[in-house]
Amino acid sequence: MSMNSFGHLFRVTTWGESHGPALGATVDGCPPGVTIDEAMIQHWLDKRKPGQNKFTTQRREPDQVKILSGVFEGQTTGTPVQLMIENTDQRSKDYGDIIDKFRPGHADITYWQKYGIRDYRGGGRSSARETASRVAAGGLAREAIKQIAPNVQITGFMTQIGPHKIDRGNFDWSQIEQNPFWTPDAQAARDWAAYLDDLRKSGNSVGAVVEVVARGVPAGIGAPVYAKLDTDLAAAMMSINAVKGVEIGEGMAAAELTGEANADEIFMGQNGPQYSSNHSGGILGGISTGQDLVVRFAVKPTSSILTTRKTITKSGEETEIITKGRHDPCVGIRAVPVGEAMMACVILDHLLLHRGQIGENRGRIG
Amino acid sequence: MSMNSFGHLFRVTTWGESHGPALGATVDGCPPGVTIDEAMIQHWLDKRKPGQNKFTTQRREPDQVKILSGVFEGQTTGTPVQLMIENTDQRSKDYGDIIDKFRPGHADITYWQKYGIRDYRGGGRSSARETASRVAAGGLAREAIKQIAPNVQITGFMTQIGPHKIDRGNFDWSQIEQNPFWTPDAQAARDWAAYLDDLRKSGNSVGAVVEVVARGVPAGIGAPVYAKLDTDLAAAMMSINAVKGVEIGEGMAAAELTGEANADEIFMGQNGPQYSSNHSGGILGGISTGQDLVVRFAVKPTSSILTTRKTITKSGEETEIITKGRHDPCVGIRAVPVGEAMMACVILDHLLLHRGQIGENRGRIG
Amino acid sequence: MSMNSFGHLFRVTTWGESHGPALGATVDGCPPGVTIDEAMIQHWLDKRKPGQNKFTTQRREPDQVKILSGVFEGQTTGTPVQLMIENTDQRSKDYGDIIDKFRPGHADITYWQKYGIRDYRGGGRSSARETASRVAAGGLAREAIKQIAPNVQITGFMTQIGPHKIDRGNFDWSQIEQNPFWTPDAQAARDWAAYLDDLRKSGNSVGAVVEVVARGVPAGIGAPVYAKLDTDLAAAMMSINAVKGVEIGEGMAAAELTGEANADEIFMGQNGPQYSSNHSGGILGGISTGQDLVVRFAVKPTSSILTTRKTITKSGEETEIITKGRHDPCVGIRAVPVGEAMMACVILDHLLLHRGQIGENRGRIG
Amino acid sequence: MSMNSFGHLFRVTTWGESHGPALGATVDGCPPGVTIDEAMIQHWLDKRKPGQNKFTTQRREPDQVKILSGVFEGQTTGTPVQLMIENTDQRSKDYGDIIDKFRPGHADITYWQKYGIRDYRGGGRSSARETASRVAAGGLAREAIKQIAPNVQITGFMTQIGPHKIDRGNFDWSQIEQNPFWTPDAQAARDWAAYLDDLRKSGNSVGAVVEVVARGVPAGIGAPVYAKLDTDLAAAMMSINAVKGVEIGEGMAAAELTGEANADEIFMGQNGPQYSSNHSGGILGGISTGQDLVVRFAVKPTSSILTTRKTITKSGEETEIITKGRHDPCVGIRAVPVGEAMMACVILDHLLLHRGQIGENRGRIG
C-alpha cells in the first residue's frame, strides 16, 4: 500500500533524496540464514557507480553501503535489513535558476504542483540516486535467491542506444562484462562509443533499451491475474525513473505476430518440458515456464541538457532555462544494474509467495 | 498483497472462472454517494460482449451484471460493492484432448505445474472472461471519478492489428464509435476488416495494439517512486491476459529520442501550465501533468487456433493438438473496453490516494 | 490495505449487508488441493445460525452457502473462492422511527455522519449477519489447515455471561457441545439458562466473554513486531462487531502478576520443549511456542432493547426511541463460532506466511 | 503486508535491534508541509528514555534521533521520512549463559525455533528499544495531525501497577506530568512509589495497565469492519512488546453490562451530538463518535528478573537461569509514551484514509 514500497513478501521500501544526509532501503521479509556482508552488496553498487568512464556522469558518489540491522554474525536474522548509503558529495553550490524555474522533462513542476514544497537541490526522490537503494536491496535478494533456487542467474545488458540496436547475430554472453555498455554485441559497443562521444560533446543526451534475462528460474512461480509475474516485472521496471516502456518476451512486437507464429511448441526434455521458442518470455498465464525470463525496458534521455529550453517560473512567467551540471549522456547505461536488481527482487518475492501458498510445485509432468 | 486484487484505496478483487457458476468483482473503497445502477455498468459490459460482429468470438455470453451489495436507493454507501456476472453458456461438451494435453501458448502447462489441479474447461482465471469483472468495476470507477474530477474522459482505441498501424494523420475521435475496431482511422478500419476476415477464415489469429487516453486528468496525482502513475498504469495493463508490452507516452520509442527532442517545453496558459508536446504521456516524475494520459499496450494473438501444434501430455508424452472452438481472431479488439476500465480504476485510485495524503494540490503556479 | 479485508496471504474480503440480495466472502490465497464442498462449510454456518434455541434471535436466516468459484471437482484450485449467502428473510416491513432516529449504542449515527447515506433496514455492514461470511471463510480455513498442520484443533466456548463466570474447576471439554452456550462448565450452563431467560423476558440484553483455544499449533508461526501472532489475533477478534476487549493468555490480568509468577518455566519433553504453565497464551515475542493458543474477547450487550432511550433525529431534534424486533438477548453466544473462524483464518495465514519466509522451522532443540 | 509495518496510508516500518549499529522508523505517506525538526521528535523520545528515575532501567540510552530524509527546510516534503537512532551503549560484555539458554518468558526460544539464528545480545526486535522507533514516528504523527484536526489531544497515563488501581475519583489531568508514573491520581503515585521500590530491591518485576485518551477527535473516522478504528487501535497496542490485553471503552467489563446500562444516550449539543456517557470509548460501528477515544492495555511484567528459573539449553538439556542486568521493574511505565505514539499514528492514518475515501464528512445533523 505504501507509496515507496515494492514487493509482497520480500518488501523493499526505499527512502532518501539525492541531497539529504543519506538514502537507503528498508528490506522486510528476507529469509533468515542468508550469508551476507557489506562487501557482497557493495559489489553491485560499484557496478552502478557513476564516474567510471566518460559515458556516465562525472559526479563522485562513493555509494558506500552500511548494514544497520537484520544481520548477525554474517547472516540475515529474518528481521528488517536496513541498507544505508550516506550522501557525501553535497557541495554547497549556487542553485540559481533551478529554485524558481521548472526544468522541462523533469519532475520539478509536478512535484511543486502536488506537494507545494520541493528539494530543488537535486531530483529529490526522482533522482537517479534513488536507484542505488534498489541495487543494494537487489544485492541482498540475489544472495537470498541462492538459498531457494540456486540455479538462477540474472544478467542485464543494453540492446539499443538511440536509434542503434544490437545485432542479435553477434550476441555473446561473454562480451557483456567487456565493454562500458554491458552489451553482448562487441561491434555495437565500438559503434556506440563513437556515437555517444559526439553526443556528450554536444551537450545532448539519448535514450536506450535495456534487457534483463533470468536463467534457471523454476517453473511455477507467479499467479494468474493481478500478481502475474509479468505484472510485477512490468511494475518493477516502470517504477525506475525515466523508464517509459516495458516488454515481456516479444513485447510490443507480439502485436505483429499470428497465433501460429507466436505459440511456443512444447517437447519433452530430460528434465521436463522444453519449448521450440520463447516468444512468451518465460511466462504463460502469469506463471513461469522454466524458460529464460526476458524483460526489456526503454529509458528516456536525460532532460538535463545544455540546450536552452522554454519554460515558466513558479509565479507563472515565461522564461528559458539551461541545465548545467554533471549529467549522464545516456542514463540508460547505469540502468542495467538497476534492472537486474529489480529482477532479483521480483524473483525472490515470487519464490517466497509461491512457497507460502503452495509449498512445493504440485503438478508433475511425466 | 492479495494475488487477485488491484489498487490501493479503490481496491478491486476479481474472482471466478469461465466455467464456474459465476464470476465478478468485489470493489472495496468506493466513495459513498456515487449514483449507480446495473444499467450504467451494463453499458460498458455490452461494449466488451462477444458475438457482436464477425471479428469477435461467436460465444454467447449475455454478461448480465448484478449488484449484490454496497448500493442503497441508487447510491453507493461506501461499503464493498459486489458485482456478479453469472455464467450461462456452460454447455456440457466433450473436452477431449484438452484434459490431458497442454495447449502451446496457453496457461495450461504452468497452471498444472504450479497448482497440480486445473479447470480444463476454459482458461480458468486466465480466460478472457475474467476481464468482464474488470469492465464492471471500471464502470463503477467512471461514475465515482465524476464526483471528484468531472472533466475526466477516458477513451480507448486500436492503433495496430498485426503489421497494420493506423495513420495518425487520419486521427478522428468521432470515428472511434463508428467501426468494429474502435479505431480513429476510418481507412484503417476498412483495411483491417478485409485483413481480419481472411485471417479468421484461415483459422489463424493475430495480435494488436490498444491505446487508452484520459483527457481532463488534473495535475498532481501519482507519486514519485513505486506508486508512480506510470507504474500503476503499467501494472494495470500488463495484468490483462495476453498483454506483453506497455508504453507510456513515447514508450519504447523514447529510446530513440535525444534529450533535446524529448523535453516538452512549458508555457503559461490561461488555466495553468501548457506544454509544446506530450512525449511524457502526461506524467513527469510519476505525477500527472494535466496533459492527456497516454498508455498503449500490445495484446498477443490468441493461441487457440486451427493449426496443429506440437505439445506434450501430463504424462510427458509428445503429441499434437488442435484447438477447435469459438475463439477471437483478434482478442485485442475486445481489450479496448478492458483497457479503458483499468485506466478508470487507476485514475480513481490515485485521485483518492492524492486526496488522502495531500487534500488539495498545495503548489500554485502564477 | 482495503477496509474490508483481513489477512496477509490467506486474505478474506467480506461484502454485503443484512438486507441486500446477498453477502459473502471473497477468499484469496487459499492453497490448492484442499478438499472442500458446500456441506463442509455449511456445518459451521449451522452452528452460528440464529433461532436454534430461545437464547438467540428468532429471525430465520437459512444462511445457505454457495461456492461460486475457486473449487473444481471438490478441490480448491488456488484461485479466489467466492462464498455467497443469499439473504432470504427480507420481508418488507415498516421501518418507522429507525429511518430518522439514531439508536443509542448502534452504528446508525456514525454511519450517517461519515457517509451521509445509510441502509436503515438493518445494521448494514455492522449487522451481526456480516459474521456469517467470516464463519464461511473460517470453514474453508479449517480444511486448509489440515493440509499443513493436521493436529490443529480450534475450540471456542463461553466463559462469562453478564457477571456470571464459569468455574475453571468444572472445565470439561466434552461439555462444550452439550449446552446452548458452548460452555465447558455444565453448572454454569444451567445457571445461565435461568438468568438469561429472565433477561430475555424483560426485553434487556447482556454482554459475554468468549474464549477460543487452538491446540496443536506448531511452534514458530508469527513474527516479532507488527505481524505478531498476538497482534493479528487481537485485530481479528476486535474486528468482530460488538467486541470491546481482547486478551491473549493472562490478558488484562497480566498487570497483576510479578515477573516471577508470570514466567512459564521450560522443560524438555519427548517431543520438544514443555512449559510449567501457559501465562503467555502460547505466544512469546509474537511467535507461537507450541502450547495452546488462548484468546478471549468481550462482547458488549446488544443495544437493540425494549427499553425507551433518549436520542436525536437527523434534523437534530431530541426524542426517544424503543427498538422492537427479533434480537439476541446475548449476542455473545453466537460469537463463539465467529471467534473460532477468525482463529482459523489467522492460524492458516501465519502458517502460509511462515512457509513463505522460512520454509521449515530452522532452529532445532535437542 | 510486510511484517514490520503498521498503518494504511501513514505507514510506519520500524527496523533495528537493540545491539546493532542503529534502529529507526521509515515513515511513508506523511502529508507534505508539516513543520518538523529533530527537537520536536526528541521531546517525545526523552519522555520514554530510560534511566530518568529509579523505577526504570538504569541503562543509558541517549536515544538521539536524526532525520535522514523527507524533510526540507523544516517541512515534510511528502516523501519517506527516515528517523534513525544510533545505538551507543553497546558495551562489549560477557553474555555467558544467554547464548545457549532460553530465558523463560522471553522470545529467545521462539526466535530460535523459527529463525535458527538469534542476536542473543539483547531482545532483538522484541527488545523494548524497538519502541523508541515508534515514539519517534508518533512524534511526527502528532505534528501532522495538527494540520488536519488541530483539536486532537493525546494523553497516556497509568491506571494500575500490579494489583493497585487508581481511584477514578482522584482523576486529575494536571497530575499526570507531576509524577514518575504519569498517573492522574496523586495518591496512587505515592503508594506505587513505595510498592515498586520494594519490588525493585527484591529483583522482581510487575505488570501494569496504561490508558491512552484522545480528545478532540472528529466524528466519522474509521470504517465498519476490518479497518474499524477499534481494530486498528487494538492491533497497534497489542503490537507493543509485552502487551497481553487491549480494551476499548468499557473493554472486558462490557461483558458485565446490560444493554440498558451500556447504551450511551444521545442529546443535541451546540456543536452537534452529545452523549450521556462513553461506554463505547468513542467508537460506534468502528467509526469515531467525536467523544474521547479511550484505549487501555495491559503490560506483562518483565521476565528479566533476579530469581532463578528452570529452563533448557539449545541442545535440550534442562538447567536453570538467572537474568542479571539493568532491567525495568515495571516496563509498563515507559509504555505510556509508546501507547500515545501508537494512538497518534492510528488517528493520523484514519484521518488520511477518511479524507481519501470520503473527503469531508457527508452527513449533517441538525
pLDDT averaged per 10 residues, chain D (length 366):
88 93 97 97 88 67 91 96 88 73 92 91 84 97 97 98 97 96 96 92 93 97 93 97 96 94 93 95 97 98 84 95 78 94 98 95 85
Q: Kindly tell me the sign of the dihedral angle through the C-alpha atoms of D332, D336, D338, D339.
A: positive
Average pLDDT over residues A2-16: 94
A329 three-class SS? coil
pLDDT at C57 over 90: no
Q: Quote the percentage of chain A above a pLDDT of 70.
A: 95
CB-facing half-sphere around the CA of C89: CA atoms within 13 A: 13
Residue C119: closest C-alpha in chain B: B72
Contacts of D129 in chain A (CB under 8 A): none
Q: Tell me, what's the pLDDT at B328?
A: 78
| pLDDT for res D96 | 74
Question: Can you say how many angstroms the Cα of residue C208 is from the centroid of all Cα atoms in its chain?
Answer: 13
Q: What is the dihedral of CA D169, D170, D171, D175, to 10 degrees?
A: 180
Strand ranges (E), chain D: 5-6, 11-15, 22-28, 65-69, 71-72, 75-76, 81-86, 153-161, 164-165, 208-215, 243-248, 266-269, 272-275, 283-284, 287-288, 293-299, 309-312, 318-321
pLDDT in tens, C227-255: 899 999 999 999 999 999 999 999 999 99
* DSSP H or E run through C24: strand C22-28
> Is residue C271 exposed (0-12), middle (13-18) or buried (19+ Cβ within 10 Å)?
exposed
Average pLDDT, chain B: 92
Q: Which of D99, D301, D290, A358 is nearest to C257 (CA)?
A: D301
- Measured between beta carbons, which residues in chain A are less than 8 angstroms from residue D4? 28, 79-80
β partners of residue A267: A274
Which residues make beta-bridge pairs with D283? D288
Q: Tell which wins on pLDDT, B194 or A60.
A: B194
CB D48 within 8 A of CB D63: yes
* Confidence band, pLDDT 50/70/90 cuts, at residue A98: confident
φ/ψ region of C32 (left if φ > 0, alpha if ψ in -120 to 50, else beta) reads beta
CB contact under 8 Å between B68 and C15, yes or no, is yes
Run of H or E residues at C65: strand C65-67
Asked if B209 and A309 come within 8 Å (Cβ–Cβ), the reply is no
> What is the model's pLDDT at position D343?
98
In terms of CA atoms, which chain C residue is nearest residue A224?
C79
Q: Is residue C38 exposed (0-12), middle (13-18) or buried (19+ Cβ within 10 Å)?
A: middle
Q: Is C153 exposed, middle or buried (0-12, 13-18, 19+ CB in 10 A)?
A: middle
**Å from D296 to nearest chain C CA?**
9
The interaxial angle of helices D335-357 and D229-238, nearest 10 deg, is 150
Higher pLDDT, residue A307 or C187? C187
CA torsion sign for A73, A77, A80, A81 is positive
Q: What residue in D sits closest to A24 (Cα-Cα)? A: D82
CA C87 to chain centre: 21
Q: What are phi and psi of C76, to 5 degrees?
A: -65, 145
Nearest to B296 by CA among B348, B334, B339, B253: B339
Determine the average pLDDT of the residues in B19-47.
95
CA D338 distance to own-chain centroid? 3
**What's the rounded mean pLDDT across residues A193-212?**
93
Q: How far apart are CA C288 and CA C266, in angstroms?
A: 14
User: Nearest residue on chain A to C357, judged by CA atoms?
Assistant: A31
d(CA B330, CA B338): 14
Give contacts of B31 with chain D, Cβ < 8 Å. 357-359
Look up residue B85 and give its three cell numbers.
456476472
Confidence class for position A40, pLDDT limits 50, 70, 90: very high
Closest C-alpha among B346, B335, B340, B348 to residue B143: B348
Q: Which of B11, B26, B125 to mutate to test the interface with C (most CBs of C within 10 A)?
A: B26
Q: What is the pLDDT of residue B362?
A: 82
Taking CB atoms and an 8 Å limit, are D13 and A13 in contact across chains?
Answer: yes
Closest CA to D44 of D318, D344, D366, D358: D344
Cell matching residue B97 = 484432448
Of D22, D72, D79, the CB nearest to A68: D22
Return the top range by mean pLDDT from A109-123, B317-331, D320-334: A109-123
Contact D55, D115 (CB under 8 A): no
Per-residue model confidence as pLDDT tens digits over B259-300: 888 989 999 999 899 999 999 999 999 999 999 999 999 999
pLDDT(C203) > 90:
no
Cell numbers given for A134 = 534498489
- At residue D71, the 3 state secondary structure works out as strand
Q: What are phi and psi of B210, to 5 degrees?
A: -115, 140
Nearest-angstrom CA–CA distance, D234 and D295? 8
Segment C141-147 shows an average pLDDT of 97
Q: Which three cell numbers stand for residue B116?
A: 497440480
How far is the C-alpha of C228 from the C-alpha of C100, rounded, in Å?
43
Q: Which residue has the cell 440498558?
A: D260
Q: What is the mean pLDDT of residues A317-345?
A: 89
Q: What is the largest CA-CA distance in chain B?
A: 71
Instruction: Show residues of chain C in contact with A9, CB under 8 Å.
Output: 9, 353, 356-357
DSSP letter for B32, please: T
Quote the CA–CA distance of A306 and A201 in Å, as a whole number. 10
Of C1, C9, C30, the CB nearest to A1: C1
CA distance C73 to chain D (A): 32
Question: Rounded to a whole number, what is the distance in Å from the CA of A210 to chain C's nearest CA?
Answer: 31
Q: Give the helix/strand (H/E) hosting C212.
A: strand C208-215
C-alpha cell at B272: 495553468
Question: Grid coordinates in use for A325?
Answer: 551540471
- B60-87: average pLDDT: 93
Q: How confident is the model over B98-132, as pLDDT tens digits?
A: 889 999 999 999 999 999 998 888 778 888 889 99
Would you say how long chain C is, in residues? 366
At A91, is the pLDDT very low, low, confident or very high (cuts 50, 70, 90)? low
**Cβ atoms < 10 Å from Cβ of A257:** 21
Chains sharing 3 or more CB pairs under 8 A with chain B: A, C, D
Q: What is the pLDDT of residue B219?
A: 96
ipTM passes above 0.90: yes
Instruction: For cell 497497534, name the residue.
Output: D236
Total beta-carbon pairs less than 8 A apart between chain A and chain C: 48
Euclidean distance between CA atoms C201 and C180, whole angstroms: 18
Nearest to D245 among C118, C247, C264 (CB): C247
Please tell me the pTM assigned to this model. Answer: 0.97
CB distance C85 to C22 below 8 Å = yes
| Cβ–Cβ below 8 Å for B15 and C82 | yes
Q: Which residues contact D25 (CB under 8 A, 6 or more apart)?
A: D12, D13, D14, D15, D82, D83, D133, D134, D136, D137
DSSP one-letter code for A81: E
The C-alpha cell at A215 is: 536463467
Give the chain A residue nearest B263 (alpha carbons): A105
B208 close to B330: Cβ distance less than 8 angstroms: yes
d(CA A189, CA A177) in angstroms, rounded, equals 11
d(CA A248, CA B244): 5
Q: pLDDT tens digits for B186-203? A: 999 999 999 999 998 888
Within 8 A of D353 by CB-CB distance, chain B residues are 9, 356
Give D76: exposed, middle or buried? Use CB within 10 Å, 0-12, 13-18, 19+.
Answer: buried
Place of cell 560499484: A46
For residues D366 and D361, what is the distance between their CA atoms, to the nearest angstrom?
14
Task: Pick the closest to residue D111 from C249, C267, C363, C271 (CA basis).
Answer: C363
Per-residue model confidence (pLDDT) at position C332: 92
